[in-house]
Amino acid sequence: MRAQRTGIRRIGTLAASGVLAVTLGLSLAACSQVPEPEENIESLTAVKEAPAPPAAAEEYDIELHPEPIVEPFECTPYLVITARGTGEPNKGQLLSPVARAIRDALPDQVKTLNLKYPASTDVNEGGTYGARLLLDTLNVQAEECPDQRFVLLGYSQGALIIGDALSQPDGRLVGATVGELSDEAASRIVAVVVYGNPRFSGGESYDYGSFNANVGGILPRTPGSLAPFADRIRDFCVAKDFICQSSLDLDEKGHVAYFKNGMQQDGAEFALELIRQATSAPVDAGEDAGETPVPADEEQ
Protein backbone atom coordinates (compact mmCIF):
# COMPACT_ATOMS: atom_id res chain seq x y z
CA MET A 1 0.00 0.00 0.00
CA ARG A 2 1.17 3.47 -0.76
CA ALA A 3 0.70 6.47 1.47
CA GLN A 4 -2.28 8.69 1.12
CA ARG A 5 -1.19 12.31 0.87
CA THR A 6 -4.49 13.88 1.87
CA GLY A 7 -7.37 12.42 3.82
CA ILE A 8 -7.01 9.81 6.53
CA ARG A 9 -6.00 6.41 5.18
CA ARG A 10 -7.44 3.55 7.21
CA ILE A 11 -5.76 0.18 7.15
CA GLY A 12 -8.21 -2.53 6.19
CA THR A 13 -9.71 -4.82 8.80
CA LEU A 14 -7.77 -7.96 9.59
CA ALA A 15 -10.77 -9.97 10.71
CA ALA A 16 -10.55 -12.18 7.65
CA SER A 17 -6.89 -12.97 8.34
CA GLY A 18 -7.64 -14.30 11.80
CA VAL A 19 -4.99 -12.05 13.34
CA LEU A 20 -7.51 -10.00 15.27
CA ALA A 21 -10.70 -10.92 17.01
CA VAL A 22 -13.88 -8.95 16.33
CA THR A 23 -12.41 -5.92 18.08
CA LEU A 24 -9.03 -4.91 19.38
CA GLY A 25 -10.49 -3.87 22.70
CA LEU A 26 -8.53 -0.63 22.70
CA SER A 27 -9.16 1.68 25.62
CA LEU A 28 -8.67 5.31 24.81
CA ALA A 29 -6.57 6.84 27.52
CA ALA A 30 -7.11 10.40 28.60
CA CYS A 31 -4.75 12.84 26.96
CA SER A 32 -1.37 12.83 28.67
CA GLN A 33 0.26 15.71 30.46
CA VAL A 34 2.34 16.99 27.59
CA PRO A 35 4.23 20.30 27.74
CA GLU A 36 2.64 23.52 26.55
CA PRO A 37 2.96 23.93 22.75
CA GLU A 38 5.58 26.69 22.99
CA GLU A 39 7.67 24.65 25.43
CA ASN A 40 7.37 21.58 23.24
CA ILE A 41 8.57 23.48 20.17
CA GLU A 42 11.45 25.10 22.05
CA SER A 43 12.64 21.80 23.52
CA LEU A 44 12.75 20.14 20.10
CA THR A 45 14.28 22.98 18.11
CA ALA A 46 16.99 23.29 20.78
CA VAL A 47 18.34 19.98 19.47
CA LYS A 48 19.74 21.79 16.42
CA GLU A 49 20.54 25.04 18.17
CA ALA A 50 22.60 23.66 21.08
CA PRO A 51 26.08 25.24 21.07
CA ALA A 52 27.82 22.05 22.21
CA PRO A 53 27.11 18.30 22.33
CA PRO A 54 25.28 17.10 25.44
CA ALA A 55 27.22 15.36 28.19
CA ALA A 56 25.42 12.16 27.22
CA ALA A 57 27.20 12.18 23.85
CA GLU A 58 30.42 11.25 25.64
CA GLU A 59 28.86 9.30 28.50
CA TYR A 60 27.16 6.89 26.09
CA ASP A 61 29.75 7.00 23.30
CA ILE A 62 29.93 3.45 21.93
CA GLU A 63 33.67 3.71 21.30
CA LEU A 64 34.44 4.91 24.82
CA HIS A 65 31.89 2.64 26.51
CA PRO A 66 31.29 -0.39 24.28
CA GLU A 67 29.63 -2.59 26.91
CA PRO A 68 25.81 -2.63 26.59
CA ILE A 69 23.93 -0.67 29.23
CA VAL A 70 21.16 -3.29 29.35
CA GLU A 71 20.83 -6.92 30.32
CA PRO A 72 18.91 -9.36 28.09
CA PHE A 73 15.24 -10.03 28.69
CA GLU A 74 13.32 -13.25 28.17
CA CYS A 75 13.15 -14.66 24.66
CA THR A 76 9.49 -14.25 23.80
CA PRO A 77 8.57 -14.53 20.11
CA TYR A 78 7.86 -10.77 19.95
CA LEU A 79 9.20 -7.78 21.85
CA VAL A 80 7.15 -4.57 21.60
CA ILE A 81 9.02 -1.43 22.68
CA THR A 82 7.28 1.89 23.32
CA ALA A 83 9.04 5.28 23.37
CA ARG A 84 6.73 7.85 24.92
CA GLY A 85 6.40 11.54 24.11
CA THR A 86 7.78 14.50 26.03
CA GLY A 87 6.17 14.75 29.45
CA GLU A 88 4.14 11.56 29.15
CA PRO A 89 4.01 9.27 32.18
CA ASN A 90 5.36 5.73 32.06
CA LYS A 91 1.82 4.40 32.30
CA GLY A 92 -1.27 5.57 30.42
CA GLN A 93 0.64 6.84 27.39
CA LEU A 94 -0.70 7.21 23.87
CA LEU A 95 1.09 4.01 22.89
CA SER A 96 -0.22 1.83 25.72
CA PRO A 97 -3.43 0.72 23.94
CA VAL A 98 -1.45 0.00 20.77
CA ALA A 99 1.03 -2.24 22.58
CA ARG A 100 -1.75 -3.88 24.59
CA ALA A 101 -3.75 -4.69 21.44
CA ILE A 102 -0.73 -6.42 19.91
CA ARG A 103 -0.10 -8.36 23.12
CA ASP A 104 -3.75 -9.39 23.51
CA ALA A 105 -3.97 -10.57 19.91
CA LEU A 106 -0.96 -12.86 20.46
CA PRO A 107 -1.44 -14.45 23.90
CA ASP A 108 1.76 -15.61 25.60
CA GLN A 109 3.90 -14.48 22.66
CA VAL A 110 4.58 -10.82 23.42
CA LYS A 111 6.64 -8.93 25.97
CA THR A 112 6.00 -5.18 26.10
CA LEU A 113 8.71 -2.78 27.23
CA ASN A 114 8.51 0.92 27.95
CA LEU A 115 11.79 2.61 27.03
CA LYS A 116 12.85 4.12 30.33
CA TYR A 117 14.38 7.34 29.05
CA PRO A 118 13.67 10.75 30.61
CA ALA A 119 11.24 12.07 27.93
CA SER A 120 12.02 15.52 29.31
CA THR A 121 12.33 18.88 27.60
CA ASP A 122 16.11 18.39 27.45
CA VAL A 123 15.87 16.40 24.25
CA ASN A 124 19.61 16.45 23.55
CA GLU A 125 20.50 14.79 26.85
CA GLY A 126 17.53 12.49 27.31
CA GLY A 127 17.21 11.64 23.64
CA THR A 128 20.86 10.63 23.40
CA TYR A 129 20.43 8.27 26.33
CA GLY A 130 17.18 6.99 24.85
CA ALA A 131 18.84 6.20 21.53
CA ARG A 132 21.66 4.26 23.24
CA LEU A 133 19.14 2.41 25.40
CA LEU A 134 17.03 1.43 22.39
CA LEU A 135 19.98 0.34 20.26
CA ASP A 136 21.54 -1.70 23.05
CA THR A 137 18.22 -3.37 23.82
CA LEU A 138 17.67 -4.40 20.21
CA ASN A 139 21.24 -5.53 19.63
CA VAL A 140 21.43 -7.51 22.87
CA GLN A 141 18.08 -9.18 22.27
CA ALA A 142 18.99 -10.07 18.70
CA GLU A 143 22.14 -11.78 19.96
CA GLU A 144 20.49 -13.47 22.94
CA CYS A 145 17.24 -14.57 21.29
CA PRO A 146 17.72 -16.02 17.79
CA ASP A 147 14.01 -16.11 16.95
CA GLN A 148 12.71 -12.94 18.60
CA ARG A 149 11.24 -10.19 16.44
CA PHE A 150 10.64 -6.53 17.32
CA VAL A 151 7.85 -3.94 17.04
CA LEU A 152 8.77 -0.31 17.77
CA LEU A 153 6.15 2.27 18.78
CA GLY A 154 6.95 5.96 19.24
CA TYR A 155 5.11 9.20 19.92
CA SER A 156 6.48 12.73 19.51
CA GLN A 157 9.99 12.79 21.04
CA GLY A 158 9.83 8.99 21.14
CA ALA A 159 9.21 8.94 17.38
CA LEU A 160 12.30 11.13 16.89
CA ILE A 161 14.43 8.75 18.95
CA ILE A 162 13.26 5.65 17.11
CA GLY A 163 13.82 7.21 13.70
CA ASP A 164 17.26 8.50 14.62
CA ALA A 165 18.30 5.15 16.09
CA LEU A 166 17.34 3.45 12.82
CA SER A 167 19.22 6.05 10.77
CA GLN A 168 22.91 6.31 10.00
CA PRO A 169 24.76 8.31 12.71
CA ASP A 170 25.56 11.21 10.39
CA GLY A 171 21.85 11.74 9.77
CA ARG A 172 20.81 11.89 13.42
CA LEU A 173 19.91 14.85 15.61
CA VAL A 174 20.34 12.78 18.78
CA GLY A 175 22.61 9.84 19.49
CA ALA A 176 25.25 10.30 16.81
CA THR A 177 27.86 8.67 19.08
CA VAL A 178 25.84 5.85 20.60
CA GLY A 179 26.37 3.14 18.01
CA GLU A 180 24.35 1.49 15.27
CA LEU A 181 21.80 -1.22 14.84
CA SER A 182 23.36 -4.57 13.98
CA ASP A 183 22.32 -6.19 10.72
CA GLU A 184 20.79 -9.03 12.68
CA ALA A 185 18.72 -6.68 14.86
CA ALA A 186 17.61 -4.67 11.82
CA SER A 187 16.34 -7.82 10.12
CA ARG A 188 14.21 -8.65 13.19
CA ILE A 189 12.24 -5.38 13.16
CA VAL A 190 8.79 -6.36 11.93
CA ALA A 191 7.00 -3.01 12.28
CA VAL A 192 7.62 0.60 13.28
CA VAL A 193 4.60 2.75 14.17
CA VAL A 194 5.04 6.42 15.11
CA TYR A 195 2.71 9.34 15.79
CA GLY A 196 3.25 13.11 15.83
CA ASN A 197 6.81 12.75 14.57
CA PRO A 198 8.97 15.92 14.80
CA ARG A 199 11.11 14.50 11.96
CA PHE A 200 8.14 13.83 9.67
CA SER A 201 8.96 14.04 5.96
CA GLY A 202 5.86 14.60 3.84
CA GLY A 203 6.96 12.74 0.74
CA GLU A 204 7.63 9.28 2.15
CA SER A 205 5.68 6.18 1.06
CA TYR A 206 5.01 5.22 4.67
CA ASP A 207 3.27 8.47 5.70
CA TYR A 208 -0.38 8.12 6.72
CA GLY A 209 -2.96 10.67 7.77
CA SER A 210 -4.56 13.97 6.81
CA PHE A 211 -1.20 15.75 6.48
CA ASN A 212 -0.11 18.13 3.72
CA ALA A 213 2.60 16.31 1.77
CA ASN A 214 4.38 19.61 1.14
CA VAL A 215 4.84 20.29 4.85
CA GLY A 216 7.30 18.45 7.06
CA GLY A 217 7.80 18.29 10.79
CA ILE A 218 9.62 20.96 12.76
CA LEU A 219 12.83 18.92 12.34
CA PRO A 220 12.20 17.14 9.01
CA ARG A 221 14.26 14.08 8.17
CA THR A 222 16.19 13.91 4.91
CA PRO A 223 14.02 11.99 2.42
CA GLY A 224 15.08 8.38 2.02
CA SER A 225 16.95 8.19 5.35
CA LEU A 226 14.81 5.27 6.48
CA ALA A 227 14.54 3.55 3.10
CA PRO A 228 15.70 0.13 4.40
CA PHE A 229 12.67 0.09 6.71
CA ALA A 230 10.14 1.86 4.49
CA ASP A 231 7.86 -1.13 4.01
CA ARG A 232 7.77 -1.70 7.77
CA ILE A 233 6.90 1.86 8.88
CA ARG A 234 3.67 3.78 9.43
CA ASP A 235 4.25 7.44 10.26
CA PHE A 236 0.89 8.86 11.37
CA CYS A 237 0.40 12.63 11.10
CA VAL A 238 -2.74 14.79 11.06
CA ALA A 239 -3.12 18.16 9.39
CA LYS A 240 -3.28 20.30 12.54
CA ASP A 241 -0.45 18.65 14.45
CA PHE A 242 2.10 21.46 14.74
CA ILE A 243 4.87 18.96 15.58
CA CYS A 244 4.69 16.82 12.41
CA GLN A 245 3.24 19.66 10.31
CA SER A 246 5.46 22.57 11.26
CA SER A 247 3.13 25.45 11.93
CA LEU A 248 2.82 28.73 13.80
CA ASP A 249 -0.69 27.67 14.82
CA LEU A 250 0.20 26.04 18.13
CA ASP A 251 -3.15 24.41 18.81
CA GLU A 252 -2.28 21.44 21.02
CA LYS A 253 -5.43 19.57 19.98
CA GLY A 254 -3.76 18.39 16.80
CA HIS A 255 -0.82 16.79 18.57
CA VAL A 256 -3.06 14.77 20.90
CA ALA A 257 -5.71 13.94 18.29
CA TYR A 258 -4.32 10.40 18.01
CA PHE A 259 -5.94 9.48 21.32
CA LYS A 260 -9.39 9.66 19.74
CA ASN A 261 -9.12 9.54 15.94
CA GLY A 262 -8.77 5.77 15.49
CA MET A 263 -5.10 5.81 14.58
CA GLN A 264 -4.15 3.83 17.69
CA GLN A 265 -6.20 0.96 16.30
CA ASP A 266 -4.83 1.53 12.80
CA GLY A 267 -1.29 1.28 14.11
CA ALA A 268 -1.99 -1.93 15.99
CA GLU A 269 -3.65 -3.47 12.93
CA PHE A 270 -0.69 -2.53 10.74
CA ALA A 271 1.79 -4.11 13.14
CA LEU A 272 -0.31 -7.26 13.51
CA GLU A 273 -0.65 -7.68 9.76
CA LEU A 274 3.14 -7.52 9.37
CA ILE A 275 3.55 -9.97 12.23
CA ARG A 276 1.16 -12.34 10.46
CA GLN A 277 3.25 -12.03 7.30
CA ALA A 278 6.47 -12.53 9.22
CA THR A 279 5.33 -15.82 10.69
CA SER A 280 5.44 -17.33 7.21
CA ALA A 281 8.98 -16.09 6.48
CA PRO A 282 12.21 -17.02 8.30
CA VAL A 283 14.35 -14.36 9.95
CA ASP A 284 17.09 -13.38 7.48
CA ALA A 285 19.94 -11.10 8.56
CA GLY A 286 20.53 -10.26 4.91
CA GLU A 287 17.15 -8.60 4.48
CA ASP A 288 16.82 -4.94 3.80
CA ALA A 289 17.95 -4.10 6.12
CA GLY A 290 21.92 9.54 31.63
CA GLU A 291 21.98 9.08 35.39
CA THR A 292 22.78 5.47 36.21
CA PRO A 293 21.28 3.66 33.24
CA VAL A 294 18.03 1.88 33.94
CA PRO A 295 17.07 -0.70 31.32
CA ALA A 296 13.68 -0.68 29.68
CA ASP A 297 11.23 -2.48 31.93
CA GLU A 298 7.90 -4.18 31.52
CA GLU A 299 5.04 -1.78 31.01
CA GLN A 300 1.51 -1.61 29.70
Domain count, the chain: 1
| pLDDT score recorded for residue 292 | 34
Does 207 fall in a domain? yes
Does 287 fall in a domain? yes
Does 1 fall in a domain? no
Does 5 fall in a domain? no
Assess contact for 191 and 267: CB atoms under 8 A: no
Assess contact for 112 and 271: CB atoms under 8 A: no
Whole-angstrom Cα distance, residue 268 to residue 94? Answer: 12
Q: Is 270 helix (H, G, I), strand (E, B) or coil?
A: helix
Element (H, E) at 82: strand 78-83
Does 36 fall in a domain? no
Does 55 fall in a domain? yes
For the entire predicted model, the pTM comes to 0.83
Does 123 fall in a domain? yes
Assess contact for 119 and 35: CB atoms under 8 A: no
Domain limits for position 209: 15-30+43-298
DSSP H helices in 61-122: 96-105
List the chain pLDDT tens, one digit each, 300 residues: 333 333 333 333 333 333 333 233 333 333 445 567 777 778 888 888 777 899 999 999 999 999 999 999 999 999 999 999 999 988 889 999 999 999 999 999 999 999 999 999 999 999 999 999 999 999 999 999 999 999 999 999 999 999 999 999 999 999 999 999 999 999 999 999 999 999 999 989 999 999 999 999 999 999 999 999 999 999 999 999 999 998 776 778 889 999 999 999 999 999 999 999 988 755 443 344 333 333 444 444
| Interacting residues of 210 by C-beta distance below 8 A, sequence separation 6+ | 6, 7, 8, 237, 238, 239
| pLDDT score recorded for residue 71 | 96
Assess contact for 276 and 16: CB atoms under 8 A: no
Whole-angstrom Cα distance, residue 64 to residue 86? Answer: 28
Assess contact for 256 and 244: CB atoms under 8 A: no
CATH code at 157? 3.40.50.1820
Does 49 fall in a domain? yes
